[in-house]
Amino acid sequence: MPPRNRVGEVAALRLERLVKTSVNGAPQWHLQPEANRTLVTLSGDWIAQQGHLPDFPESGFRDVPHGEPVEFSTDQLGKWDTSLISFLWELKRTAREDNVQLRIDTLPESARKLLDLLPEIPPTPAPPPPHKFQPVTAVGQLTLDTLNEVGCVSEMGAAAAKGGFAALVGRGMMRTVDLMSDLSAAGPAALLIVGVVNFLVGAILAFVGSVELHKFAADIYVASLVAIAMVREMSAVMTAIIMAGRTGGAYAARISTMQANEEIDALQVFGIPVSSYLILPSVLALAFTMPLLYLYGCLIGMLGGFFVSYIMLDVSPLGYFHETLQALPLDQFTFGFIKSFVFGTFIGLTSCRIGLKAGRSAADVGIAATKAVVVGIVGVIALDAVFAVIANVIGI
Amino acid sequence: MNNQMPSTDDRPVMIDVNDVTLAFGPRVIQHDVSFQVRRGSIFAVMGGSGCGKSTLLKSMIGLLRPTHGTYMVQKDNYWSGDDESRVRIGRRFGVLFQSGALWSSMTVGENVALPMQMFTKLEPHVIRQLVELKLGLVGMLHAIDQYPSELSGGMRKRAGLARAMSLDPDILFFDEPSAGLDPITSARLDELILNLRDGLGATIIIVSHELSSLFHIADDGIFLDADQKTAIAHGSPTWLRDHCTDPTVHAFMHREQLDSSSSHGNG
């Protein structure tokens, strides 16, 4: 049909509705048996947003004599929108179930057109799959999934390491620009928050220690307490937790957004290896900056401890400095240094993996970021426990 | 030059756009655009890529304030009032975004239900019923409990259409409704748009450069040019194709290359 003719037709339809807008009142219907037919009278304004919409009961056609048609009277019908169509749809379904013959052609043409678009039978929603709790299966599945993930992360780590070596000999697919921007995001940009947190941790350690040590007039040992605690445990762990929340979450969000935009697919089609193009710079950045941030954290933490001791206790600056040096053999630093390198690599790899595995919607990006932070923090603390056992065994 | 379709249309004016200028900072996108959209018409906003069609649409649905000019929606001046009055007028609008713009954390059914839950006092079972109806109209009832990420592009668009109709708006805006759809789905969507217009009496404004679809459904329109940065022709797509003498419009409507001596391509 050419569009020109349509305009006239539509204008007529519009007129039909405009004339009827004078009728007002709540939407109503009633069924009235007449000679040789049953009449459904529709009246009032059927506007969804005004509410009070009637339902058509399932037993609505019970009294209709068999074989007699049901017709509509719409003379008293006012304004209407889809709520009327919804009512008619329900009526049509009931009529179908009760084998009642419905004279749809007695409805206004515009309503008929919309009714024609609707499917005859509404689909029955599929029942949700039975959800029985099976502990053995669940534990088995969890174990398999975890092992699978560990395998994937190791494989990714190996691929990234390979890419790293390739980059060293100058045949890598990593761009220096990416590495530099990741380094700056993971390093200098994190200095403030890492500094604040470690300063406070050092100060808190000094507070807690001073209460007990003061009883023994051993105030000076606050210095060694703070130094050993910061260097062995607190600085590495606190810095790793901050970085898991800050940088790990950002990596996961970035990579899962790229996944959602098909950017990862585009990389793969070009044959650019995701492991060395995307993951290597991120992991390298974290693995490289984390030990440096750890050293910085140690220093700031001891400064926090000194600050508290100087103000609260009777400790001279020189004495504090001397006691700190006494308490710290260099191998303590090596241990913490290795730990923070491992933490950095772990956070980088897991958060990239979680980003890559994420779904393709906006909600999935949020889930991936949350998951990266949670896995990062829990993983760092678990790894720290493993390190503690190793340190105990080899006697550091 | 013949670039204005003689109008015999006596339907009441729904939207009156007067001397509108759109700009991002100092960069003018379109200036002095005026047109009227009549009630119950399907109005096409045409033009090449990057000419400002979508920007014009954005300013009509309240996402971008025009630097100059007025939009009248019947008796209401859309941009002169405060945010509240704009939202009140906007409640009459339904918008189908280019890629559906469904909220990805909700199922298709919840997407359609949300505006009703927010802005009406309907009971949950009535809302459910209306949601089923709207999805039924666009042929998406089977996907009511699926998430947008599980749908194809065409299905997302149809679900987006169901959501646009959620509050029974009397003005519907479609941004590139048939872009990226296969011909059959696209033809089905055209038919659906016509049926909705005829059935619900809605006024429809379409931004598109899908010629076959425009010829089929639109009965009025405007042609925006990227070089002159204004509307260079008014009329239905078929009229513009058959009667308009402007070289850019002619080339556009006939899918020809523009003679480079008369004008530069509109990127």
For the segment A170-211, what is each residue's pLDDT rounded down to a tens digit?
777 778 888 899 999 998 999 999 999 999 999 999 999 988
Return the structure tokens found at A160.
Answer: 């990234």
Instruction: Compute the nearest-CA separation of B96 from chain A (Å).
Output: 18
- Is-contact B114 B106, C-beta < 8 A? yes
| Chain A residue nearest residue B148, CA to CA | A361
Instruction: Compute the nearest-CA separation of B136 from chain A (Å).
Output: 5
Determine the straight-line distance between the first and last CA of chain A, rounded to whole angstroms: 89
Closest residue by Cα to residue A322 from A336, A335, A306, A333 = A306
Highest mean pLDDT range out of A128-132, A133-137, A295-299, B71-75? A295-299
Query: Hey, are the CB atoms on B238 and A2 less than 8 Å from each other?
Result: yes
Beta bridge partners of B174: B96, B206
- The per-residue pLDDT of chain B, averaged, comes to 85
- Is-contact B4 B235, C-beta < 8 A? yes
Q: Per 3-state DSSP, what percentage of chain A is helix, strand, and coil (rounded to 5)?
A: 70, 5, 20
Query: Hey, are the CB atoms on A48 and B130 less than 8 Å from each other?
Result: yes
Instruction: Compute the nearest-CA separation of B260 from chain A (Å).
Output: 33
Q: Which of A3-7, A109-113, A356-360 has the lowest mean pLDDT?
A: A3-7
What is the rounded distance in angstroms from the CA atom of residue A322 to the CA atom of residue A331?
A: 18
| Chain B residue nearest residue A122, CA to CA | B141
**Which residue in B133, B141, B198 is closest to A13 by CB distance?**
B198
Query: Hey, are the CB atoms on B168 and A10 less than 8 Å from each other?
Result: no
pLDDT by residue (tens digit) across B4-45?
A: 777 777 788 888 998 899 988 888 898 889 998 998 899 999
Return the structure tokens found at A219.
Answer: 């105030």
What is the rounded distance in angstroms from the CA atom of residue A94 to the CA atom of residue A112?
A: 17
**Which residue in A14, A117, A364 is closest to B201 by CB distance?**
A14
What is the rounded distance in angstroms from the CA atom of residue B186 to the CA atom of residue B181?
A: 6
- Is-contact A286 A345, C-beta < 8 A? yes
pLDDT by residue (tens digit) across B123-171?
A: 888 888 889 988 988 888 888 898 888 888 888 888 998 999 888 888 9
Instruction: Compute the nearest-CA separation of A99 from chain B (Å).
Output: 22
Tell me what pLDDT residue A122 has: 60
What is the rounded distance in angstroms from the CA atom of residue B233 to the CA atom of residue B180?
A: 26
Instruction: Compute the nearest-CA separation of A132 from chain B (Å).
Output: 22
| CATH number attached to the domain at A3-117 | 3.30.750
Tell me what pLDDT residue A4 has: 45
Query: Hey, are the CB atoms on A14 and B217 less than 8 Å from each other?
Result: no
Per-domain residue ranges of chain A: 3-117, 163-394
Residue with structure tokens 């130094």? A227
What is the rounded distance in angstroms from the CA atom of residue A54 to the CA atom of residue A27?
A: 7
What is the rounded distance in angstroms from the CA atom of residue A147 to the CA atom of residue A363?
A: 26
Tell me what pLDDT residue B262 has: 47
Q: Could you tell me the pLDDT band of residue B259, with boundaries at 50, 70 and 90?
A: low
Exposure class string for B193-213: b at 16+ Cβ within 10 A, else e: bbbbbbbbbbbbbbbbbbeeb
What is the rounded distance in angstroms from the CA atom of residue A88 to the CA atom of residue A105?
A: 13
What is the rounded distance in angstroms from the CA atom of residue B193 to the CA atom of residue B177?
A: 10
pLDDT by residue (tens digit) across A85-122?
A: 888 888 888 888 888 888 888 888 888 888 887 887 66
What is the SS3 assignment for A310-362? HHHCCCCHHHHHHHHHHHCCHHHHHHHHHHHHHHHHHHHHHHHHHHHHCCCCH
Instruction: Compute the nearest-CA separation of B134 from chain A (Å).
Output: 8
Closest residue by Cα to residue B138 from B181, B176, B91, B185 = B185
Name which of A16, A86, A124 to mutate to probe chain B: the one with the most chain B Cβ atoms within 10 A of its Cβ. Answer: A86
Closest residue by Cα to residue B170 from B71, B89, B235 = B89
Query: Which residues in A lie closer than 8 A to residue B148 (C-beta atoms)?
Result: 361
Q: Which B positions 188-217 lie with beta carbon below 8 A of chain A?
A: 192, 194-201, 215-217
Query: Hey, are the CB atoms on A361 and B165 less than 8 Å from each other?
Result: no
Q: Please give the residue that has the higher pLDDT: either A123 or B159.
A: B159
Which DSSP helix (H) or strand (E) runs through B215?
helix B211-217
What is the rounded distance in angstroms from the CA atom of residue A378 to the CA atom of residue A376?
A: 6
Mean pLDDT value across residues A253-267: 87
What is the rounded distance in angstroms from the CA atom of residue B140 to the CA atom of residue B163?
A: 11
Query: Hey, are the CB atoms on A3 and B148 less than 8 Å from each other?
Result: no
| Chain A residue nearest residue B92, CA to CA | A49
Per-domain residue ranges of chain B: 13-92+169-253, 106-167
Query: Which residues in A lie closer than 8 A to residue B139 (C-beta atoms)?
Result: 117, 119
Q: Is the pLDDT assigned to residue A2 strictly greater than 60? A: no
What is the rounded distance in angstroms from the CA atom of residue B137 to the CA atom of residue B166?
A: 12
Query: Which residues in A lie closer than 8 A to residue B142 (C-beta atoms)?
Result: 123
B128 and chain A in contact, CB less than 8 A? no
Tell me what pLDDT residue A9 has: 52
CATH class of residue range B13-92+169-253:
alpha beta
Tell me what pLDDT residue A125 has: 58
Query: What ipTM is given for this predicted complex?
Result: 0.74
